[in-house]
Amino acid sequence: MRVLGVDPGLTRCGVGVVDGAPGTPLTLVAVDVIRTSHDDEVPVRLLGIEAGLEALLDEVRPDAVAVERVFSQHNVRTVMGTAQAAGVAMLAAARRGLPVALHTPSEAKAAVTGSGRADKAQVTKMVTRLLRLDAAPRPADAADALALAICHVWRGGAQARLAAARRGALPGAAPVHGRSRGGATQ
């Protein structure tokens, strides 16, 4: 599976592409940071992020896209820009019919380090080790994007199967008894 991880941001949008499957060695395909200028208006910055993502999607042709789930921060302006950049990434993937998964920072940290409370240095160190890189990806946004991609390679398939089971979409899945969709007991 080839996964594009996106660590969204208006100034620095980290992107990292990894090939792999659970239980097999991972391979780095690409890593970069899409940068925009503080001096540009937000719509222009979003266009820059979109152009960078579109070019990368055309180049690496991932099977899925993993985007960091935006969480509430104290600075509403920062969270808005992050959410807008995440939306651009989801739109670019959806335009190609690619599945999109949202992973929290804690999920990505736990996937690569074993702890959802790992700091950026620990995440970068483990990403470097897991991908057998000679040097750590810089800046931290690039390492975070790779951690998201790794998280999805290792956990995405199971999450997709669980979501499908919750929707009753698995072939041969037995219906859930006890409550109907309307909430009444069967």
Distances (CA, A) of 127 to 106, 112, 116, 130: 15, 7, 14, 5
144 is annotated as an active-site residue: no
C-alpha to C-alpha distance for 155 and 123, rounded to whole angstroms: 17
Q: How far is 19 from 2, CA to CA, in rounded Å?
A: 4
Catalytic residue among 7, 19, 107, 144: 7
> Which residue is catalytic, options 19, 68, 107, 144?
68
CA angle 58, 15, 41 (to 5 degrees): 90
Does residue 68 have an active-site annotation?
A: yes
- The CA distances from residue 58 to 52, 115, 141, in Å, are 10, 34, 21
DSSP helix/strand/coil, 72: coil
Question: Which of the following is catalytic: 19, 107, 141, 144?
Answer: 141
| 119 included as an active-site residue | no
The first and second tokens of residue 80, run together, are 């808005």
Q: Which residues are catalytically annotated?
A: 7, 68, 141
